[in-house]
Amino acid sequence: MDERLEKALDFSNYMLTLNTQKRLLAEKYQESLIYFYSGSQFTITRELITFVSVMVSADQDEVVLVDDNNIPCLVHDLDNFYGEILNQYASASNTYHTAYVNLKKNRSIEKLVDYD
Amino acid sequence: MTKGVFLIAKNNGFIDYVKQAVFLARRIKNHLGMPVTIATDSVDYLTDTFGTKDFDKIIPLEYSKGTNTRYFFDGSLSKKTANFKNSNRASVYDLSPYDETLLMDTDYIISNDLLKSCFESKSNLMLYRQSDDIAKVREEDEFEFISNTSVEFYWATVVYFRKTQTNKVFFDLIKHIEDEWNHYRRVYQITSSLFRNDFAFSIAIHIMNGFQNGNFVQDLPGSMMYTIDKDVLWQLNGDDMMFLVEKKDYLGEYTALKTSGQSIHVMNKISLNRIIDKEFADD
């Protein structure tokens, strides 16, 4: 095989694996953003955080939020709810960032999939 | 309220589902901390080979030969035809000793505690509607709808339910659909005559929703990640798994990928059993 083509195919395989690993990391990140409160399931988004923040700023103690399954949920302790989703969002995002940066450092398929 | 996980293992002389169930029960204890009940037609094999310590209860099932046959692939170039005994899944409602049950296929490899939250949920019945092929190189339409002209697809791989009157009606309906499979598969325009639990559950959900899409069931948390049997589970290290996934348009060529802390439905049961053998040998 032509050496130029061989190198291109090697790189192509590497990129394929890198992109797959990036996608799997993103999916794991989405899973780690799921927050459970009083039997309801919320995926933490910047929109949710902002809305809850506005409600807290407006001195609201409780609010009805619609969860991932379209079930309304009355959140009683809004301050605590806000703190918890903010913490979980920050923690999940930091973990995602660290894993992403580490992934990008790997320059071979073996290292990308951590294969001995 | 009693809570637990329920597994069904019926060996077919080719795939050792009992071994898979033992392996999964250990992972469930680690990740979910829940008791596990097994229903099997191979009780003697289970107790003689693996003992009983991994299970809260062992429920004997009557042995049947099974009439369904299908290909079992081990990667894209190797396959074998064998029986598979997927009947009577709906009987789990009556068999389960728990008020709240998480029913799981034995080839679903638990690697996190996400499903634990089901037991705190307001929903009485939860299944996976969303799924992700970890390879992302194949069409996923077959897991969107049960046929090109039919209703939404739901996975029966993992099912959470509480014992309620409505859920009793639901599981009895699934039994009825299974008994009258040839009728229902024609009504729902399924071309294959092969009975699949995913299809029976999907049809029952459609009927319970008033013959339309609706919210009779809620989604389990996250989405169900899977690999098909054309992919190979290559390595397992704790909650890390390495797969060789089929390369698009290159038969027999694979791309390596690694998952970490993600629960995966591994459809290549042959490669899964190889890995389990290795794990048990290391223990």
Contact check, Cβ <8 Å, A30/B222: yes
Query: Does any domain span residue A95?
Result: yes
Residues across chain B: 283
Is the pLDDT at B241 greater than 90? The verdict is yes
* Residue B201, domain extent: 3-74+83-224
- Among chain A residues, CA nearest to B254: A13
Domain count for chain A, please give it.
1
Query: Does any domain span residue A19?
Result: no
Query: Does any domain span residue B194?
Result: yes
Domain of residue B109, CATH code: 3.90.550.10
Which residue among B112, B222, B255 places its CB closest to the CB of A20? B255
DSSP assignment of chain B equals --EEEEEEE---SSS-HHHHHHHHHHHHHHHT---EEEEES-HHHHHHHH-STT-SEEEE--------EEEEESSTT-EEEEE---TTGGGHHHH--SSEEEEE-TTEE--SSGGGGGGG-S-SEEEE--EEESS--S--GGGTBSSTTSPBP-EEEEEEEE--HHHHHHHHHHHHHHHTHHHHHHHTT-------HHHHHHHHHHHHTTSS--SSSEEPSS-EEEE-TTSEEEEEETTEEEEEEEETTEEEEEEEEEEES--EEE--HHHHHHHHHHHHHH-
**Mean pLDDT over all residues of chain B?**
92
Whole-structure pTM value: 0.91
Retrieve residue B63's tokens. Answer: 């042995």
Mean pLDDT value across residues B167-180: 96
The answer to whether B168 contacts chain A (CB < 8 Å) is no
Residues of A in contact with B132 (CB under 8 A): 27
Query: Does any domain span residue B179?
Result: yes
Which of B225, B257, B263 best tests the A interface by mutation, with the highest count of A CBs <10 A? Answer: B257
Of the pLDDT bands very low, low, confident and very high (cuts 50, 70, 90), residue B193 is: confident
* Cα–Cα distance measured from residue A55 to residue A70, given in angstroms and rounded to the nearest whole number: 20
Mean pLDDT value across residues B177-202: 94
Is the pLDDT at B169 greater than 80? The verdict is yes
Query: Does any domain span residue A82?
Result: yes
Query: Does any domain span residue B233?
Result: no
Retrieve residue A2's tokens. Answer: 């032509």
Mean pLDDT value across residues A95-114: 89
* Residue A75, domain extent: 30-103
Query: Does any domain span residue A64?
Result: yes
Query: Does any domain span residue A48?
Result: yes
Query: Does any domain span residue A69?
Result: yes
Query: Does any domain span residue B245?
Result: no
Is the pLDDT at B199 greater than 70? The verdict is yes
Query: Does any domain span residue B259?
Result: no
Is the pLDDT at A116 greater than 70? The verdict is no
Of the pLDDT bands very low, low, confident and very high (cuts 50, 70, 90), residue A55 is: very high
Query: Does any domain span residue A46?
Result: yes
What's the pLDDT at A107?
A: 82
User: CB of B86 within 8 A of CB of A3?
Assistant: no
Contact check, Cβ <8 Å, A114/B242: yes
Query: Does any domain span residue B183?
Result: yes
Which of A24, A40, A75 best tests the B interface by mutation, with the highest count of B CBs <10 A? Answer: A24
The answer to whether B134 contacts chain A (CB < 8 Å) is yes
Is the pLDDT at B65 greater than 80? The verdict is no
Residues of A in contact with B162 (CB under 8 A): none
User: CB of B78 within 8 A of CB of B58?
Assistant: no
- pLDDT tens digits along A5-35: 887 878 888 888 899 999 999 999 999 999 9
Which of A25, A31, A34, A108 best tests the B interface by mutation, with the highest count of B CBs <10 A? Answer: A31
What's the pLDDT at A84?
A: 97
Query: Does any domain span residue B234?
Result: no
Domain count for chain B, please give it.
1
Query: Does any domain span residue B217?
Result: yes
Query: Does any domain span residue A25?
Result: no
Mean pLDDT value across residues B232-258: 90
